[in-house]
Amino acid sequence: MSNTATENEHDPLIPHGHKQTGRVGDRVFRGFASGAGIFVLVIMGAIGAFLVWKSIPSLQADSTNFFTTTEWFPDDNPAVFGIAALLFGTVISAAIAMVLALPVGIGIALFIAFYAPRPVASTLAFITDLLAAVPSIIFGLWGLAVLMPNMQGTAQWLNDYLGWIPIFSNSLGIYSKSLFIAGVVLAIMVLPTVSAVTREVFIQVPSAHIEGALALGATRWEMVRMAVFPFARPGMISAAMLGLGRALGETIAVALILSAAFTINWHITEPGGNSFAANIALKWNEAGPIGLSALIASGLVLFLITLAVNMLARWIVSRRKDFSGAN
């Protein structure tokens, strides 16, 4: 490296000093970039190690199966606790959120990018960007105070007309504080994220592909399927993962809405349910030493789930690399 740099000083074709500052700049930048990369890995590793280390005492103390138990009495003697209900509630509420937010978010992004007239498009884009920045406590409060009372009818409708699908049936006749409502609030929370990210990706689809499809006689929707979706697929998956990550880890909105219960109840419109993040927030202050360790163990599971989700997304994105359009 330093060799070539000194050679260049004598090269008459290269303006004096110019190339060299470029090289120094290069080196500084490379050092900075790889440093930042390593820093991220170290932080990840440190968090993982911390979680494992702190969860060991509770896992040793647990007298039942950590994965299948639906109770949470870690400070009892013997300790009885497991994550089954937390895992169930987290996955179901996040799944409801994604099922609702993905199509709507992508639809909004498509509308902004390809259908709406310019002024409408930029206004909508501005609003979704604003919504993406609203703190989750606001969504939680709004969900609790406004959405929940107004969603009873919808939940009842689901029971009345789709009740033959087991998850929608509700034998209690009480429709509030359910995983369903939590999922809807989560959906509204992640919607702006999903929509803003997919919109950015859609806008980057080269107009050559869009015009290529239209010139073949594609309708707008056919053009979207032919030229936009294939090109934007990796970005759409990233957007979904960002949204899913937020939904899985959301604490306060879920904690406010659910009436925390350690049950696995497939009737999603009935009260009850719980999630990793909400449970940690609700139990932290009253927990004893083993209780804290147990909460951290549940946090470790959430950490691993998000890691797995992200790795899965990367794998999906890389599967058809030849066809990615990057070459």
Partner 1 sequence: MAKRIDVSDLDIYYSKFLAVEGVTFSVEPRTVTAFIGPSGCGKSTVLRTLNRMHEVIPGAYVNGKVLLDGENIYDADVDPVNVRRTIGMVFQRPNPFPTMSIYENVIAGLKLERTKGVKRDKASMDAVVEKSLRGANLWEEVKDRLNRPGSGLSGGQQQRLCIARAIAVEPQVLLMDEPCSALDPISTLAIEDLIEDLKERYTIVIVTHNMQQAARVSSTTAFFNLAGIGQPGRMVEMGPTAKIFSTPTEKATEDYVSGRFG
State the residues that interact with partner 1 by CB under 8 A. 117-118, 206, 208-209, 211-219, 222, 226-227, 230-231, 233, 320, 322-327
**What residues contact residue 146 under an 8 Å CB cut-off, 6+ apart?**
none
- Residue 298, burial from CB neighbour count under 10 angstroms (0-12, 13-18, 19+): buried
By beta-carbon proximity to partner 1, the closer residue of 133 and 215 is: 215
Q: How far is CA 25 from the centre of its chain?
A: 36
DSSP 87-146: HHHHHHHHHHHHHHHHHHHHHHHHIIIIIS-HHHHHHHHHHHHHHHTS-HHHHHHHIIII
For tokens 């939904």, name the residue. Answer: 247
Instruction: Choose between 48 and 230: whose C-beta lies nearer to partner 1.
Output: 230
CB of 117 to partner 1, least distance (A): 8
Q: Is 250 helix (H, G, I), strand (E, B) or coil?
A: coil
In the complex, minimum distance from the CB of residue 239 to partner 1, in angstroms, rounded to a whole number: 18
Distance (Å) of CA 230 to CA 1, 24, 88? 42, 40, 33
Residue 82: name the closest of 213, 243, 270, 263 by CA.
263
- Min dist. Cβ of residue 199 to partner 1 (A): 17
Q: How far is residue 86's CA from residue 72's CA, in Å, rounded to a whole number?
A: 10
Q: Quick one: 157 or 221, whose CB is closer to partner 1?
A: 221
Nearer to partner 1 among residue 16 and residue 320 (C-beta): 320
Task: State in angstroms the smallest separation of the CB of 326 from partner 1.
Answer: 8
Residue number with CB closer to partner 1 (190 or 213):
213
Find the shortest distance in angstroms from Cβ 325 to partner 1.
3
Q: Which helix (H) or strand (E) holds 210?
A: helix 207-215
**In the complex with partner 1, which residue's Cβ is closer, 126 or 323?**
323
Residue closer to partner 1 (CB basis): 144 or 218: 218
> Shortest gap between Cβ of 223 and partner 1 (angstroms)?
10
3-class DSSP assignment, residue 309: helix
CB-nearer residue toward partner 1: 124 or 214: 214
* Residue 117 CA to its chain's centroid (Å): 30
- Would you give the DSSP letter of residue 171? S
Minimum Å gap between C-beta 103 and partner 1 is 21
Residue 125 C-beta: closest distance to partner 1, Å:
15
